[in-house]
């Protein structure tokens, strides 16, 4: 039986990459975008949440990405 692993793999990768402050933070404390500052704010968490949701919709609803293993 084949299982579709695209959803958990893509969701986990996006979650790790889009954690505010890990790679980038929008909005930053002093600039619109800060890189690798390892800090966060409520505004930053909300913007990263919106980007995360839009990317998940793009991959699963629009592109129909599947990975069968």
**Host domain of residue 15:** 6-62
The pLDDT of residue 58 is: 92
- Any domain includes 44: yes
Percent of the chain with pLDDT over 90: 32
- Any domain includes 21: yes
- In this model, does residue 19 exceed pLDDT 80? yes
Task: Report which of residues 40 and 15 the model is more confident about.
Answer: 15
Number of domains in the chain: 1
Burial annotation 13-47 (CB, 10 A radius, 16+ → b, else e):
ebeeebbbbeebbbebeeeeebeebeeeeeebeeb
- Any domain includes 69: no
Q: How confident is the model at residue 25 (pLDDT cuts 50, 70, 90)?
A: confident
């Amino acid at each position: 039986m084949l299982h579709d692993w695209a959803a958990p793999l893509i969701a986990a990768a996006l979650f790790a990459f889009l954690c505010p402050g890990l790679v980038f933070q929008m909005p930053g404390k002093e600039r619109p975008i800060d890189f690798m500052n390892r800090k966060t704010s409520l505004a930053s968490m909300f913007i990263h949440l919106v980007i995360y949701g839009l990317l998940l919709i793009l991959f699963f609803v629009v592109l129909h990405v599947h990975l069968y293993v």
